Amino acid sequence: MTAPDQITPDDQPAATTTDAEAGTRADAEAAVGTDDLARQLEEQRDRYLRLAAEYDNHRRRSQRERAEAGGKAQADLVKHLVDALDDLARFAHVDPATTDATTIVEGVAMVERKLLKTLGNAGLQIVDPVDQPFDPALHEALGTEPAQSRDADHLVARVYQPGYVFAGQLLRPARVVVRQYNG
């Protein structure tokens, strides 16, 4: 036998690894970790691209649907206005020698009522503010006239041209004359 302080190769443990083998194993584990991170990054990038494409498709579809809805609403309004247009065409082609002025005026008044009814059903409101307080958001003052009392101050005296509001939006202000008390 050998001396107790000498170790022979048979006595060394078999499971020891060298520094080179440990480095190779760490490199392999790092490569596996890097591959996993790259795969996760690619999955997230793919999710992002799909989500961006889905959003873009939704935006385009919404724009197209809004345009179609607007077109349908306009077509529906025009469909209702065609009747009044036909009535106007009849009056434009009457023989003035055989038709008196009263008949033409009554016919035009009927067409006006028909148009106003159709547009009113579509949401048009007429601003005709006689004897109401002047409102600069709805009225345009073209002039003033004297008021007889303090109570009549800043009230609309006359309307030169009515205003129109459609769906809460002012299309045209009413053009008015406003009373002013100077007492």
Kindly report, residue by residue over 119-139, the tens digit of the pLDDT: 999 899 999 999 999 999 999
pLDDT of 10 reads 57
CATH annotation of 123-183:
2.30.22.10
pLDDT-derived band at 80 (thresholds 50, 70, 90) equals confident
Q: Which amino acid, residue 107?
A: G
pLDDT-derived band at 33 (thresholds 50, 70, 90) equals confident
**Which residue ranges make up each domain of the chain?**
123-183
pTM assigned to the model: 0.60
Across the chain, what does the average pLDDT equal?
86
What's the per-residue H, E or C state across 134-182?
CCCCCEEEEEEEECCCHHHCCEEEEEEECEEEECCEEEECEEEEEEECC
- The yes-or-no verdict on residue 19 having pLDDT over 90 is no
Residue with tokens 């041209």, as numbered in its chain: 161
Per DSSP, 2 falls in state: -
- Give the C-alpha separation, 15 to 38, whole Å: 34
